[in-house]
Chains A and B, each alone.
Chain A
């Protein structure tokens, strides 16, 4: 269904104690879209995703997802709604096997019954995870760990995936392959919000893009309408 809103963030303020990290931030994602948020280090991109996922509570503003108001809810109430975060640094479980890591993705009761089908799908998407299913999480390479983190997120049968810096520290070939998979996931109707340092690549896959600067949204538009100069301005302020 086109033009149905999957995620709507409005007037969002987030504080870390006395420090205000987000100022009046807004963001919208239609169902089935890939939305990219770019911006320099410390612009507040990760803070935005962490707040949507429920790790941080906003001081003001609203977050609506799939028609439900989710701002201020803890992650264990947000995950069952169908929103999941692939966090920065992957945060896989090092002392659980690959299989157990994936099973943890289907922790919410709603998804437990369909876990074997979900597992099959993920093994198809990332065959390397099947080959390594009995290995401990920390024995995987960086790229494999990223695949595991994405696979684990998919196990919760999400409608919206938030991806935080999934290309960080990975080889270009691996990044390319992971982005290919993201497209595939998106084609199945899953909405994706991307936060990336890799501007070029994330603008290439996105339907729409936002640029953040110092905790504020400074630009919104289709990737083709965003000029290099505007990007430069957002990153370097010149």
Chain B
């Protein structure tokens, strides 16, 4: 029993990281009905951005958030405003293709500049642990991931609930024409929504970069995690995002614990399949 505690603890903490990876994808999916296939790549782009800041200023990667997050807001805003808004509204496919194209461009752009070598954001947090018992250790870096991820999700939740812009984004998602009759410039509001989604991707990128190694082609791997979380939790739901992250991470780590680490991904997809079979709209999803 004692040996189970470690994978459960790690699973919970990793779940927080998965949730923050997915939150931006989930909001865009739920609100603008946009499947942002470039989400993972833009996230990895912010890992590289952090790498540049860290190399340049020699600071702890966490400080680089102060630069990465605002830059990613503008990246998101302009992607939506200049690219995706142009093809929005007709059908689902054109935005999907634009996002797919963007994904390829970002990957190859990163490849061109940073070469295919593995990178990571090194920090002394990575080796610190807090012993909780004889066989139980709390990895400080995982704890940072979990806390920061939780804070981001809380901030996004409060933003959507309590601000004029947040409500306008939700209103536009409910009824675009209704929202425009309230005086909402819906196209601009979508650009802001994407900016905010990319801010969360910026945080996720820095956390992922600190926790794992990354390459220019790592993006799709995280896109799949984000998709999994969104599908398990339900479209556009913040609670669902957190729950989806926890379930996916726990399924992966517990599965790996009972079999071998090689099967980690398999168990994650297994959990996904079970939820899809039993509750296709996701745990906290409403009508689609």
Of the candidates B170, B175, B178, B185, the one whose C-beta lies within 8 Å of that of A76 is B185
The residues of A that contact B183 with a CB separation of less than 8 Å are 75-76, 78-80, 107-108, 156
In chain A, positions 178-236 with a C-beta closer than 8 Å to chain B are none
- Is B288 an interface position by the 8 A CB rule? no
Pick out which of these stretches binds chain B: A39-47, A57-65, A85-93, A169-177: A85-93
The residues of B that contact A156 with a CB separation of less than 8 Å are 182-183
- Is B286 an interface position by the 8 A CB rule? yes
Proximity bits, A105-131, B CB within 8 Å = 1, else 0: 101100010000000000000000000
The residues of B that contact A55 with a CB separation of less than 8 Å are 177, 180-181
C-alpha spacing A104/B178, complex, angstroms = 10
C-alpha spacing A103/B184, complex, angstroms = 12
| B180 and A92 contacting across the interface, CB-CB below 8 Å | no
The distance from the CB of B186 to the nearest CB of chain A, in whole angstroms, is 8
| B178 and A107 contacting across the interface, CB-CB below 8 Å | no
Highest count of chain B CB atoms <10 Å: which of A53, A80, A87, A91 = A91
The residues of B that contact A94 with a CB separation of less than 8 Å are 174-175
C-alpha spacing A80/B181, complex, angstroms = 11
C-alpha spacing A102/B177, complex, angstroms = 16
The distance from the CB of B32 to the nearest CB of chain A, in whole angstroms, is 15
- Is B88 an interface position by the 8 A CB rule? no
Of the candidates B164, B174, B177, B181, the one whose C-beta lies within 8 Å of that of A96 is B174
* Total residues of chain A contacting the partner, CB 8 A: 27
* Total residues of chain B contacting the partner, CB 8 A: 18
| A152 and B180 contacting across the interface, CB-CB below 8 Å | no
Of the candidates A74, A75, A91, A103, the one whose C-beta lies within 8 Å of that of B175 is A91
Proximity bits, B132-164, A CB within 8 Å = 1, else 0: 000000000000000000000000000000001
The residues of A that contact B286 with a CB separation of less than 8 Å are 95
| B185 and A74 contacting across the interface, CB-CB below 8 Å | yes
C-alpha spacing A107/B179, complex, angstroms = 9
- Is A30 an interface position by the 8 A CB rule? no
The residues of B that contact A84 with a CB separation of less than 8 Å are 181
| A96 and B171 contacting across the interface, CB-CB below 8 Å | yes
| A91 and B185 contacting across the interface, CB-CB below 8 Å | no
- Is A100 an interface position by the 8 A CB rule? yes
| A75 and B170 contacting across the interface, CB-CB below 8 Å | no
- Is B168 an interface position by the 8 A CB rule? yes
The residues of A that contact B174 with a CB separation of less than 8 Å are 93-96, 137
Given contacts A55-B177, A87-B177, A91-B177, A96 and B182 within 8 Å (CB-CB): no
A residues lining the B interface (CB < 8 Å): 53, 55, 74-76, 78-80, 84-85, 87, 91-96, 100, 103-105, 107-108, 112, 137, 152, 156
- Return 18 A-B CB contacts under 8 Å, by A number: A55-B181, A75-B183, A76-B180, A76-B184, A76-B185, A84-B181, A87-B178, A91-B177, A91-B178, A93-B170, A93-B171, A94-B175, A96-B170, A100-B167, A104-B182, A107-B182, A156-B182, A156-B183
Apart from A75-B180, A100-B170: 4 A-B pairs, beta carbons within 8 A: A55-B177, A87-B181, A91-B181, A100-B171
